[in-house]
Amino acid sequence: MDDISPIRAKSGTNQEGTSAHNRRVMIEALRLNGALSRADLARATQLTKQAVSNIIEDLESDGLVVALDAVRKGRGQPSTPYRLVPEGAFAIGLHIDRHLTRAVAVDLMGSVLARAEANLPFDEPSKGVEIILELIAGVRRDLAGISSQSEKRLVGLGVAMPGPFGLKDSDDKWMMPAWQKFPLLETLAKGTGLNVGLQNDAAACATAERIVGAAHGVDHAVCLYVGYGIGAGLILNGELYSGGHGNAGEIGMALLAPAGPGSTPLEHRASLASLYQHLGLNPADSDIYEQMNALVLAEDAKMMAWIDGAAHDLRWSVHLIETIFDPQTVILTSGAPEALARRLVEAMHPLLPSIADRPARMLPRLQLGTTDPWSIALGAAAAPISRAFDPLFSAILKTRSAPA
The total number of residues written for the chain in this structure:
404
CA distance 142 to 140: 5
Residue 32 near a second copy by CB under 8 A: yes
Q: Phi first, then psi: give them for residue 326, nearest 5 degrees.
A: 50, 55
What does 68 interact with, of a second copy, DNA, none (CB < 5 to 8 A by kind)?
none
Q: How many CA atoms lie within 13 A of 238 on its CB side?
A: 10
Residues 6 or more apart in contact with residue 305 via CB below 8 angstroms:
278
Distance, CA of 133 to CA of 187 (rounded, Å): 9
Minimum distance of a second copy from residue 248's CB (angstroms)? 4
Phi, then psi, of 288 in degrees rounded to 5: -55, -35
243, 277, 299, 308: which one binds a second copy (CB under 8 A): 243
The partner in contact with residue 261, picked from DNA, a second copy, none with C-beta cut-offs of 5 to 8 angstroms by kind, is none
Are 97 and 380 spatial neighbours (Cβ–Cβ below 8 Å)? no
Positions in 288-317 near a second copy (CB under 8 A): 312-313, 315-316
Residue 404 binds to a second copy (criterion: CB under 8 A) = no
Smallest distance, a second copy to C-beta of residue 47, A: 4
> Is there binding between residue 77 and DNA (CB under 7 A)?
yes
- Shortest gap between Cβ of 400 and DNA (angstroms)? 12
Q: Order of strands across the sheet with 35-37?
A: 35-37, 81-84, 65-67
> Is-contact 368 345, C-beta < 8 A?
yes
Pick from 160, 90, 102, 157: nearest CA to 374? 102
Map the footprint of DNA across residues 325-344, applying CB under 7 A.
Answer: none
- Please choose which of a second copy, DNA, none residue 72 contacts, taking the beta carbon within 5 to 8 angstroms, the exact cut-off set by kind: DNA
The torsion of the CA quartet 350, 354, 357, 363, rounded to 10 degrees, works out to -80
Three-state secondary-structure class, residue 119:
strand
* 78 is an interface residue for DNA by CB under 7 A: yes
355 binds, among a second copy, DNA, none (CB under 5 to 8 A by kind): a second copy
Q: How far is the CB of 60 from DNA (least distance, A)?
A: 10
200 touches a second copy by CB under 8 A: no
Choosing from 80, 111, 147, 247, the residue that interacts with DNA (CB under 7 A) is 80
- Total binding residues for DNA by CB under 7 A? 30
Helix axes 15-33, 375-389, angle to 10 degrees: 140
Build a one-symbol-per-residue string for 57-96: x at contacts with a second copy by CB under 8 A, - elsewhere.
----------------------------------------
Site for a second copy in 329-368 (CB under 8 A): 352, 354-355, 357-359
- Which residue, 10 or 72, has its beta carbon nearer to a second copy? 10
The stretch near DNA (CB under 7 A) out of 18-26, 289-297, 302-310, 324-332 is 18-26
Least gap, CB of 120 to a second copy (angstroms) = 25
Residue number with CB closer to a second copy (135 or 232): 232
Interaction mask 41-60, a second copy, x per CB under 8 A: x-xxxxx---x---------
Euclidean distance between CA atoms 391 and 198, whole angstroms? 20
φ/ψ region of 122 (left if φ > 0, alpha if ψ in -120 to 50, else beta) reads beta
Residues 221-240: x/- map of binding to a second copy (CB under 8 A)? -----------x---xx-x-
Residues 34-73, interacting with DNA (CB under 7 A): 37-40, 47-51, 53-55, 70, 72
248 interacts with a second copy by CB under 8 A: yes
Longest Cα–Cα distance of the chain, Å, equals: 73
* Identified binder of a second copy from the candidate list 247, 291, 293, 367, rule CB under 8 A: 247
Report CA-CA distances (Å) from 60 to 66, 79, 83, 99, 127. Answer: 6, 16, 10, 43, 44
One-letter amino acid for residue 209 of the chain: E
Question: With binding defined as CB under 7 A, does residue 16 bind DNA?
Answer: yes
Q: Is 195 exposed, middle or buried (0-12, 13-18, 19+ CB in 10 A)?
A: middle
Give the shortest CB-9-to-DNA separation in angstroms. 14
List contacts with DNA (CB under 7 A): 12-16, 18-19, 22, 37-40, 47-51, 53-55, 70, 72, 74-80, 398
